[in-house]
Amino acid sequence: MPRRILQGEVVSNKSDKTIVVKVERTFKHPLYKKFIKKDKKYSAHDENNEFKIGDFVKIRECAPKSKTKTFEVINSE
């Protein structure tokens, strides 16, 4: 099964070895035909605590590392 790769902005890095990434997506509303922006936050594993708030990163789906952490950081852009 392929792993999802998402990209977004780091909004929190307060936890040890964990960052929170906000991923934004746009889609067309099925009835009103307008484009809508939605965002979702994902917890991602950051082994070396190297990413700061405001960085844009790519995250990849992985096996669960904790209750909420199922993504890991690939690299920054």
Per-residue confidence of the chain (77 residues) as pLDDT tens digits? 789 999 999 999 999 999 999 999 999 999 999 999 999 999 999 999 999 999 999 999 999 999 999 999 998 66
d(CA 67, CA 77): 27
CB-count exposure of residue 30 (10 Å: 0-12, 13-18, 19+): exposed
Fold of 5-47+57-67: OB fold (Dihydrolipoamide Acetyltransferase, E2P) (2.40.50)
- Token look-up 């789906």 returns 61
- Among candidates 44, 40, 41, which has minimal Cα distance to 19? 44
Token duo for residue 73? 């950081």
**Domain boundaries along the sequence of the chain:** 5-47+57-67
pLDDT of residue 2: 82
pTM of the model: 0.88
**DSSP letter string, 39-56:** EEEEEEE-TT----TT-E
pLDDT of residue 30: 97
pLDDT of residue 75: 82
